[in-house]
Amino acid sequence: MNYIELREAKLRGDTRQIAEDYKDSNGTVDYSNIEVHKGLVGVYADESLISYIDGVEGRLYYRGYAVHNLVKHSTFEEVAYLLIYGELPTKAQLQDFKDLLIKERNIPDNIVQLLKSFPRNTTRIELLRTAISALSLYDPDDYIYTEDANIRKGLRIIAKMPTIIAFAHRIQTNQPLVEPSDELSHSGNYYYMMTGDKPMEDFVDAFDKVLICHGDHALNASTFSCRVTVSTLSDLYSGITSAIGTLRGPLHGGANEAVIRYLTDEVKRNDNVIPWARNKLERKEKIMGFGHRVYKIWDPRAIIMRDLAKKFYDAYINGERLDTITETGHDHKHDDFIFEMTEILADYMIKNKGLYPNVDLYSAGLLHSLGIPSALYTPLFAAARSVGWVAHAIEQLRNNKLIRPRLKYTGTLGKVYVGINER
Ligand code: COA
């Protein structure tokens, strides 16, 4: 079989034809030459029109628009519309979209009761994963699988995630629930429900940019999970639930919480950064917030987050009145110099390991200075990425092919069964 025939056989999943290609001179199938792509490194699983990562130049595009331009000119709602529908909205489309998200912010009482029933001291991302799974049972479109119904479900998920996250956290910390406000933008309201503080413009703007930067990232692990799940023709909620479970890990979305934990609990001081990092690297431990599967240079989102974090840091250093950033005077957290520590660490890692910061290093510091509880960093990533998950689920289903790769079996075959009494 020539290369093209083999490729086509593989695309068809034609096991018999593929096996033919691996037969040795005795006619025995020999799979030892099969190339394994561990971690699916460098594998292109499908085509997509949603986002593009240029890992060499360090660029990211959503539907063809450079993310740094979207961050500069757009809002979370507009970017969400772009990712889901493929085009920037007109004024009227954007207004309808915003109205819909506002209308869908509330969550069913049963979900609130469920959140109240969970044990305390649970990670918020687990609460989110469980609540999203339960939410499907209250969705009027639960058993309707058309694209329109999937978009309706997707928008409900995007609108309700901040409410679930904020409610879950406030229940866990014995604080009164803050009901969604119809007057605030998606990010303004999200911030308000989490902290109980209505943020001023600068704050909303920064938070909005954080959400935009996390909106999509091609076939990252959680998006892959989502696409695998819906490729079985399971439902959208199952796709998003799988994605949240995947995002949770510290090699993916859990990295931002890990960063703030090590900076505040282990490193603590500027002069401790380099000894701490050296020690970690000597012990061959990974330092979260660095490295990336695709970017081998600066992650463009890290640059955006760094600029924002620096803006808040400079304001503090210059003695500007940061207590005016929220209506009630938020207690700003710059006294522990997270930004300085991340700068020292980034410099050390780039020079000594050739490893660049990823989005999580600076988003952790930025979220910290915005006064967002660290337990909510990973769920926040999920709330923003839900847009990408929905867009990818829809794209997957438009031209679906069950995602089902193979594993190269390396064990022994033909073992003789030994009865339990003889073992
Ligand atoms: N700290 C220390 N060493 C790191 C590292 C980090 N954050 N990231 C990668 N490396 C090292 C690995 O140990 C490995 O070294 P080796 O070749 O000597 O074994 C090498 O760099 C390649 O790393 P690897 O983990 O194989 O690359 P990958 O493409 O599979 O992994 C990540 C990508 C993101 C999983 C990895 O960089 C990582 O674990 N980073 C920390 C978690 C994180 O911040 N995740 C958020 C991503 S946005």
Marked catalytic residue, from 252, 307, 334, 336 = 252
What digits encode the pLDDT tens for the residues 25-41?
677 767 778 899 999 99
Residue owning the nearest CA to atom 18 of ligand 1: 284
Q: Which residue puts its alpha carbon closest to atom 44 of ligand 1? A: 289
Tell me: the pLDDT tens digits for 221-276? 999 999 999 999 999 999 999 999 999 999 999 999 999 999 999 999 999 999 99
Ligand 1 atom having least distance to the Cα of 291:
37
Concatenating the DSSP letter of every residue in 238-287 gives HHHHHHHHHHTSTTTTTHHHHHHHIIIIII-SGGGHHHHHHHHHHTT---
Which residues, given as ranges, of the chain have pLDDT below 50? 323-325, 327, 329-332, 334
What is residue 69's predicted lDDT score, i.e. its pLDDT? Answer: 98
Ligand 1 lined by 288 (C-beta under 6 Å):
yes
- Compute the distance from residue 275 Cα to the ligand 1 centre, in Å: 20
- Cα 109 to the chain's mean position, in Å? 27
Q: What is the pLDDT of residue 79?
A: 98
What spacing in Å lies between the alpha carbon of 38 and ligand 1's midpoint?
A: 14
pTM: 0.92
Amino acid 214: pLDDT? 98
pLDDT value for 314 = 87
331 is catalytic: no
368 among known catalytic residues: no
Q: Is the CB of 49 inside a 6 Å radius of any atom of ligand 1?
A: no
- 290 CB near ligand 1 (under 6 Å): yes
Contact 364, 263 (CB under 8 A): yes
Q: Identify whether the C-beta of residue 282 lies closer than 8 Å to the C-beta of residue 269.
A: no
Q: Which residues contact 208 (CB under 8 A, 6 or more apart)?
A: 75, 76, 185, 186, 187, 188
Does ligand 1 have an atom closer than 6 angstroms to the CB of 286?
Answer: yes
